[in-house]
Structure 1
Amino acid sequence: MNSLRILVGAETYPPDVNGAARFAGRLATGLAARGHDVHVVAPSPTGRPGVEVLDGVTVHRVTSRRYQPLEALRLCTPWEAAWETSAIMARVDPDVVHTNGHLSLGRGVVNAARRSGRPLVATNHLMPENIVDYLPLPAGLRSVFAGWMWQDLGRVYSRAQIVTAPTPRAVDLLTERAGLTSAFAVSNGIDTERYHPRAAGEARAGDGTPTILFVGRLDPEKRVEELIRAVALLPRDLPARLEVVGDGARRAAWTALADELGVADRVRFRGHVTDDELLEAYAGADVFCMPGVAELQSLVTLEAMAAGLPVVAADAMALPHLVRPGANGELFQPGDVEELAGHLARLLGDAALRERMGAASREIVAVHAIDATLGTFEALYEKVLDREPVLAES
């Protein structure tokens, strides 16, 4: 296709460490590598506005402020986001706009695009329920406020020509809770070639103890406490260790839980790691576990699958789209720690089973290659530029 000038709105963007930020970074740099002139509007990591060029992408940073309960993110005020995104829109003059959020910054991007008549694509990565726990609201009002946020998301995204979400389940939520009548699934995509499974019979690093890996924010909805409790239920004569990669509000509490349950010697909290260290963590693991119950896709689960790992995951939200019980892993009912421990014990004790399920993970994840995702979005950009209707798949 012809080269386009594309403006990507991102409520969170690298160096932020979360799935939405990683997707936005991957989308922007991937499109730039395909010859497009890509501009990103994102909150400033320092708070001050400015412009920088990263990996061939022009990143316009908007004034932001830190919200203490959400230390990993910078938030923009509605008035600053509206004024600055409008000015950036006029300066960049994009052919097409692709927002990845509907909060202050995303709303500013959407409104500026609509006022200037520019084609607009919108992608949702947000579960409002993950946000309300960090707001100073009485517990009884949180579900009410989450419902309002879904409706607000629907109002903002109804202004887009095309709305997408990363999985069929995430699309269902847009119709059920946000009231949108048309949306369809486009995988976030990953660079599957970056992840390499350990060869059959290849020795592990370290002492050879089979390793369970978790990667993600250490926040309540990830429910890592269930994984730690499951490790405590494993037979002591079954070699096993748990590596926890990531940081967040619950790290101290979950570290204390491991100590309380007598498994501190089996659980290692690594905090944030570099990209190379993350690749090494995947390559050195034997089983990946995702106990979270609010995953709209779970990029880290896709990455683990690309690294050839069997996956044990909660039977919740979009995770059943990735894990096929008996094929590439197992699902457990959230809260059923004994079921989770049973799945882990079976995999940890059977190297041949891990190898077979890991190979299946590699096959399943192939359809999530980033090139396919980029190609799909390029086709969508062409359609909105031509003002063609785009219908959701039934």
Structure 2
Amino acid sequence: MRLYRIGLFTDAYLPGPNGVATSVYLLKRELRRMGHEAWVLAPEMPDADPREEWVVRVPSVAYPFFENQRLAMPSSRLLPTEFEIFHTHTPLFIGIWGARLAYRNRLPHVSTFHTHLEKYAHYIPGVATLDKYVGIMQKVCQAFYNRADVVIAPTDPVKKLAESYEIEREIKVIPTGIDTDILQAAPDPVSPWPSGKRRLLHVGRLGKEKSVDVVIRALAEIRQESDAHLALVGMGPDQEELTQLAHQLGVGEHITFVGPVPYEKIGGYYRMAELFLFASETETQGLVIWEAQAVGVPVVVVGAEGTLQGVEVGSSGYLVQPGDHREMAQRALELLRDENLRQRFSEGARKFADRRTARRVAEQIVAIYDEATRLVEFEPRRLKIPFPRLPQNSLSNSRQGS
């Protein structure tokens, strides 16, 4: 096996509570375990661990319209080594930086299509309207990913989405890895569920794109038959609105807003839950669904995009129609009524999630690095769509010519 010097370029990283951050962390760790020299290049964050090894923090400023998101100001003076592989994970400032460096130095560029950007356009003032009329987000994705040598999609539906953007590069489907050891090693938290209640869990950002309101409406239906309590792990701009909805539906006292939880501690909440509910229609991979199943929690999930391949229906959980809180409640009650059935689903969930260990995924990605290297050797200057320049002062004094 050839060993590489790899740069993982991402605008989202720990301690940011999202699937991209988690997947990059696990990939970096597994690549290093395999003997590769893997580095993460990510924005500075106020709560980031300054002692974390093999991570370069790029100076950044807060983005006012999206909590925990930073706008980075990259400079090639920060590069820790001369990379042989550039692996980008976001089509934003740091991702563009990595793409430009790869192109200028004629080195392999692999990019993972993590996020359905159109669903997040409302966080950029004016862009949602612009996207509606001219498809600006699709054009950005097309320009960025067509600069890669190979594109990775976490699921088949995401591959189809990327193809609909007219991305002309080869698209490989490789799921995001999960780490059951970290989940199992997490300490037991103070329980957010009152004693004697059925324990329902949701993990995710409290934003419009996650459709948490559907889960709350499902809770109101579930409580007509079962004494259930919902724990919402995560933070976001819609918390006040969701709190008001819960009170309007008469379930305000049956929900605990836990807030953000560090990745190394999230496993404790999964382990204590009896059932995981998730209603987002924008997931490219649904990492939290796999994490819940990895510790034996059956799931009831909206079937859309990346979640469609995230459940073994009738064995590890159920898929329901987008926006249908009544069907979500009905499926949840099936499992809450029958403990033997719930236990069978729990075992099925563990078996299903075992297919996505972080080590197996890293091995598949290294094979993609080999392929990208061969492509660059045979086609060093394939046609690539022009991409906007980054501000010149952010890349001044580059020792790699970017």
TM-score band, normalised by the shorter chain?
A: 0.7 to 0.9
Structural mapping, 1:1-394, within 5 Å: 1-46=1-46, 54=52, 56-57=53-54, 59-76=55-72, 80-81=73-74, 84=75, 86-89=76-79, 92-137=81-126, 140-144=129-133, 147-195=135-183, 207-275=195-263, 277-387=265-375
- Kindly, what percent of the aligned residue pairs are identical? 31
In 1, Cα distance between equivalents of 2:15 and 2:144 = 26
In 2, Cα distance between equivalents of 1:122 and 1:376 = 14
Residues 350-385 of structure 1: CA deviation (Å, up to 9, x unaligned): 111111112111111121111111111122222333
Q: What is the DSSP-based 3-state SS (H/G/I as helix, E as strand, rest coil) of the residue aligned with 2:123?
A: coil
Contact 1:306–1:365 under 8 Å retained in 2: yes
Amino acid at match of 1:26: L
Q: What is the DSSP-based 3-state SS (H/G/I as helix, E as strand, rest coil) of the residue aligned with 2:216?
A: helix
In 2, Cα distance between equivalents of 1:344 and 1:51 = 39
**1:53: Cα distance to partner?**
5.2
Unaligned stretches of 5+ in structure 2? Answer: 186-191, 380-402
**1:386: Cα distance to partner?**
3.6
Unaligned stretches of 5+ in structure 1? Answer: 198-203
Q: What is the DSSP-based 3-state SS (H/G/I as helix, E as strand, rest coil) of the residue aligned with 1:92?
A: coil
In 1, Cα distance between equivalents of 2:372 and 2:49 = 28
Amino acid at match of 2:60: S
Deviates more, 1:356-365 or 1:130-139: 130-139
In 2, Cα distance between equivalents of 1:315 and 1:382 = 34
- The 1:97/1:349 distance shift into structure 2, 3 A limit, reads same
Amino acid at match of 1:313: V
- The 1:255/1:133 distance shift into structure 2, 3 A limit, reads same
Q: What is the DSSP-based 3-state SS (H/G/I as helix, E as strand, rest coil) of the residue aligned with 2:202?
A: strand
**1:46: Cα distance to partner?**
4.5
- The 1:168/1:69 distance shift into structure 2, 3 A limit, reads same
In 2, Cα distance between equivalents of 1:256 and 1:389 = 59
Q: What is the DSSP-based 3-state SS (H/G/I as helix, E as strand, rest coil) of the residue aligned with 1:32?
A: helix
Contact 1:129–1:143 under 8 Å retained in 2: no
Contact 1:52–1:60 under 8 Å retained in 2: no
Contact 2:193–2:230 under 8 Å retained in 1: no
**1:195: Cα distance to partner?**
4.0
In 2, Cα distance between equivalents of 1:139 and 1:97 = 30
In 1, Cα distance between equivalents of 2:45 and 2:295 = 31
Q: What is the DSSP-based 3-state SS (H/G/I as helix, E as strand, rest coil) of the residue aligned with 2:342?
A: helix
**1:144: Cα distance to partner?**
3.6
Amino acid at match of 1:66: A
Contact 1:328–1:357 under 8 Å retained in 2: yes
TM-score, reference length from structure 1: 0.88
- The 1:231/1:37 distance shift into structure 2, 3 A limit, reads same
Contact 1:224–1:291 under 8 Å retained in 2: yes
Contact 2:182–2:264 under 8 Å retained in 1: no
In 1, Cα distance between equivalents of 2:344 and 2:378 = 43
In 2, Cα distance between equivalents of 1:377 and 1:221 = 29
Deviates more, 1:179-188 or 1:13-22: 179-188
- The 1:45/1:207 distance shift into structure 2, 3 A limit, reads same
TM-score, reference length from structure 2: 0.86
In 1, Cα distance between equivalents of 2:87 and 2:25 = 13
Q: What is the DSSP-based 3-state SS (H/G/I as helix, E as strand, rest coil) of the residue aligned with 1:68?
A: coil
In 1, Cα distance between equivalents of 2:320 and 2:288 = 18
Q: What is the DSSP-based 3-state SS (H/G/I as helix, E as strand, rest coil) of the residue aligned with 2:230?
A: strand
In 2, Cα distance between equivalents of 1:370 and 1:61 = 24
In 2, Cα distance between equivalents of 1:70 and 1:129 = 15
Amino acid at match of 2:20: A
- After superposition, the CA RMSD in angstroms is 2.5
